[in-house]
Amino acid sequence: MQTSGSSRSKFGTTRVVGMLGLALTITGSWIACSPGNPDCKELGALCNEGGQGGGGNTGGTGGDPPMIKAPPSACGALGVTSTGMKAVTDFETKFIVPKCGQAKCHGPGAIFEPKKMDVPEMIRPLLVGKKAITLCKSDYYINKDNFMESFMLQKVLAMGETLNCPTPGVKPDSGGTRMPNKDMLPGTQGERLSDGELECFTWWVEAAASL
């Protein structure tokens, strides 16, 4: 006996409704009775593992935050005795701000770029992945791809009074003078940072580049 198109349509609709009902029953039973995660083998396509991309105007779920290497022991002398993000922010408030954010240096009334280094929450946004403004314009203050090529790091690691850019320029002093300047004397070169300060500074640049 032949089945009419209308009967086939009703049969197909009934089958789809039945399958949806079964799926809802399984999902509802899990929500009502089961703690933890659903049994993915039982729920099949209804179970999604891992983070998901956002749809429409919604954002996707994020992954784990980057791991921050523990600061070297040398950082302890600078007041950085914690780990993780707190260590990063401690270095900024206890070393970068007083050392770089002085008046007329990179702080209030700054003469040199980058400015606002006296504001802890502005330090990373102004440096990480940002091209240098005055000198070494092909380079980044903090290079996310290779932190050792960060212009800011090379400014303090330089052995002489001047330095070349991370991307070498025509002139051997294309990167300007080594930092830091003397306290409260912008434009007057100060003593090179100690080995411990340089070790902690290098750790901070690497950590900032990873964020």
Cis before 186? omega within 30:
no
Task: List all residues 6 or more positions away from 172 whose beta carbon is below 8 Å from its beta carbon.
Answer: 162, 164
Distances (CA, A) of 185 to 102, 105, 162, 182: 9, 8, 18, 5
In this structure, are residues 80 and 71 in contact, taking their beta carbons and an 8 Å threshold? yes
3-state secondary structure of 113: coil
The answer to the question of residue 10 being in a domain is no
How far apart CA 141 and CA 160 sit, in angstroms, is: 20
How far apart CA 177 and CA 124 sit, in angstroms, is: 22
How far apart CA 166 and CA 188 sit, in angstroms, is: 23
Mean pLDDT of 182-196: 91
Residue 83 has pLDDT above 90, yes or no: yes
Q: Best-predicted range by mean pLDDT among 36-40, 41-45, 101-105?
A: 101-105
Q: What percent of the chain has pLDDT over 70?
A: 69
Mean pLDDT of 118-132: 97
The alpha carbon dihedral of 104, 143, 198, 78 has a sign of positive
The answer to the question of residue 167 being in a domain is yes
Q: Best-predicted range by mean pLDDT among 21-25, 38-42, 170-174?
A: 170-174
Q: pLDDT-based confidence at 74, cuts 50/70/90?
A: very high
The answer to the question of residue 61 being in a domain is no
pLDDT in tens, 94-107: 999 999 999 889 99
Task: Sort residue 187 into left (φ over 0), alpha (ψ -120 to 50) or beta.
Answer: left
The answer to the question of residue 35 being in a domain is no
pLDDT: is 30 or 122 the higher one?
A: 122
Question: How many structural domains does the chain have?
Answer: 1
The answer to the question of residue 13 being in a domain is no
pLDDT in tens, 160-188: 999 999 998 889 999 999 999 998 888 88
In the chain, beta strands by DSSP E: 181-182, 185-189
Residue 64 has pLDDT above 60, yes or no: yes
Range of the domain at 142: 73-210
DSSP element (H, E) containing 195: helix 195-210
The answer to the question of residue 4 being in a domain is no
> Global pTM?
0.69
The answer to the question of residue 180 being in a domain is yes
pLDDT: is 132 or 26 the higher one?
A: 132
The answer to the question of residue 139 being in a domain is yes
What's the number of CA atoms in the CB half-sphere (13 Å) around residue 169?
16
DSSP designation for 140: B
Mean pLDDT of 20-36: 41
Least confident of 37-46, 120-129, 132-141: 37-46
